[in-house]
Structure 1
């Protein structure tokens, strides 16, 4: 059974679970502290991470540039890929396929994929500033997937972090105004380090999940979080050309929505929900409906004020990096190549 077939089979139950989760979150007396304050302020998580992290962990984070990149013309930008939530540079690297084939110098930025976004942006800033000192005047183009777009924007739009060598930002599937799926992100570390991983002792897996972050990123990704409110209040960085590439192929069709409504009508009593409540919750989860989102990010929450270069294509949030045979994914790669090759005219 393919991943797409499996997602279709599970679409109804998953949608029901998501709506109940959103409803429960909305009905809470007060949002959890991690949703009302910057995730970076959750001190005990940082303390625990410092207790178990070692120099080898820190060494794997930062910018890693392809071999022989210096043989490329200095007129070409260095294309730096920033991966997303609970991901790695290797999983997102297909986005660089066309750039590498065209001979552009490429690099990847690795960072703890579940920690708060502010320290991740600080790490990106430090890495880009170090590159700028080593290669003064060299242009940098940032290509991001998902949450990586928020990390990149915090880096270049925050005056204290701006490295001043980025002149192009291409964001693929960026959750500009958050995603309701962030409310359901707890447990993804279990998937990353215990289900899909086939090596490492129980201690090693536990330690790695702590070093990567303890569900701090989802707090920042929730719509209305302090991090997103502050980030989206800033203007776009002058001298940087922005591109948004958004997906519209989610995993719930209209037929599956009708089926899910029936399931929800039976499950609604669990949260003391009325039919009106159910419809209200469904209206909040555009992320998962085909034509309205990519399965994780809603089109309505992805657009960014001031960015006119916005392209919508029929790809899913993960198929854009996982499915090399997908036509829309190949189009995304070509769009990235086209945008980063154009010199800044601002």
Structure 2
């Protein structure tokens, strides 16, 4: 019973630091579905105003309509995901839908489904651009679509990514072994007795169950990220990246922690291996104010070829917080400022 409690607590800890504390997690069948939200269901370009094949080839004028927004949320997104952005889009009377998906399936499978959805919407709305607004893993999924050499979708005008782990998050690579290393650093016998091979196996299986292939995909230098970052940016799309820097640990505390562990190692060299493991788990840019948002580091969000990159003082979950949160309001304002209105 004690071991089971350890597994549950450790799994919650790792999932929390990896993806935050979501609301009710969606149970989405298949690779993903498009969910119309505010004003999306009334969109119709029927009969569509088609682009003429050549000058003078058609008597039907082509009328460019205002863009619509498709939201692509992050891993284990809940019912309240990106709620602040959704509310602001509704208030601005911008048509919006959300692509809901099962992040356990991994970015590639989800991206295949997203490409199908976007292709269908491009055919249905030929004279309306679609703006993709993503959060966290959603940015990686969207890039898998628009940067694929096979991408033929014509009407995606903008990709606005909030806290995208373009180079992964070291928190996604956390495992039961990391928890073991932390606990066995301490001398309490009761901790050592519950951290055995059986409990570690159960913990790793639990993490795999909840996070699935997304955990592997979002680990730094994963096969997917190496391949994706080798692609060129889509020249027909305007990219914007908004990174957060309101992580929970002050930069000063990081320095003090490093100093303290250094002194402990000097005083007790025999404890050095365990103490270095503690430092390796705890000393991560994702958790340091000014360097990360608690889940994704600012450095990981950066992408070659993208000039519009800004850093704001928000935490990873702030896109889903109420609009009276100053950090959320500032973030939402920056997102709205990047959505074309013509």
Q: How does the TM-score come out when normalised to structure 1?
A: 0.68
- Which structure 2 residue ranges, 5 or more long, are not aligned? 1-9, 15-26, 46-64, 177-205
Question: Partner residue of 1:237?
Answer: 234
- Decide whether the 8 Å contact of 2:81 with 2:319 is kept in 1: no
Correspondence list, 1:105-254, <5 A: 105-184=95-174, 215-254=212-251
Deviation at 1:159, TM superposition (A): 2.4
CA distance in 2 between counterparts of 1:302 and 1:163 reads 24
Cα distance, 1:243–1:299 mapped onto 2, change above 3 Å: same
- Decide whether the 8 Å contact of 2:147 with 2:231 is kept in 1: yes
Deviation at 1:117, TM superposition (A): 0.6
Question: Partner residue of 2:71?
Answer: 81
Instruction: Report which of the two structures shows the higher radius of gyration computed on alpha carbons.
Output: 2
- Structure 1 segments of 4+ aligned residues over 4 angstroms from their partners: 70-74, 209-214, 263-271
Correspondence list, 1:262-277, <5 A: 262=260, 272=273
Identify the structure with the greater helix proportion: 1
- Decide whether the 8 Å contact of 2:30 with 2:102 is kept in 1: no
- Decide whether the 8 Å contact of 2:107 with 2:141 is kept in 1: yes
Question: Partner residue of 1:8?
Answer: none
CA deviations on 1:104-134 (whole Å, 9 max, x unpaired) are: 1000000102221100111110111111222
Question: Partner residue of 2:293?
Answer: 294
Cα distance, 1:124–1:90 mapped onto 2, change above 3 Å: farther
- Decide whether the 8 Å contact of 1:180 with 1:285 is kept in 2: yes
- Decide whether the 8 Å contact of 1:180 with 1:284 is kept in 2: no
Cα distance, 1:236–1:283 mapped onto 2, change above 3 Å: farther
Report the secondary structure of 1:107's partner residue.
strand
Deviation at 1:300, TM superposition (A): 1.4
Report the secondary structure of 1:76's partner residue.
strand
Question: Partner residue of 2:308?
Answer: 309
Cα distance, 1:233–1:340 mapped onto 2, change above 3 Å: same
Question: Partner residue of 1:11?
Answer: none
* Residue 64 in structure 1 maps to residue 35 in structure 2: yes
CA distance in 2 between counterparts of 1:68 and 1:212 reads 36
Deviation at 1:184, TM superposition (A): 2.1
Report the secondary structure of 2:339's partner residue.
helix
CA distance in 2 between counterparts of 1:249 and 1:57 reads 31
Report the secondary structure of 1:341's partner residue.
coil
Report the secondary structure of 1:333's partner residue.
helix
More moved, 58-67 vs 75-84: 58-67
Question: Partner residue of 1:53?
Answer: none
CA distance in 2 between counterparts of 1:213 and 1:130 reads 30
CA distance in 1 between counterparts of 2:145 and 2:95 reads 21
Cα distance, 1:254–1:332 mapped onto 2, change above 3 Å: closer
Deviation at 1:58, TM superposition (A): 3.1
CA distance in 2 between counterparts of 1:335 and 1:128 reads 24
Deviation at 1:274, TM superposition (A): 7.2
Query: What is the number of equivalent residue pairs in this alignment?
Result: 268
CA deviations on 1:284-306 (whole Å, 9 max, x unpaired) are: 72111001111111111111111
Question: Partner residue of 2:54?
Answer: none
- Decide whether the 8 Å contact of 2:246 with 2:292 is kept in 1: yes
Cα distance, 1:175–1:284 mapped onto 2, change above 3 Å: farther
**RMSD (Å), alpha carbons:** 3.4
Cα distance, 1:211–1:270 mapped onto 2, change above 3 Å: closer
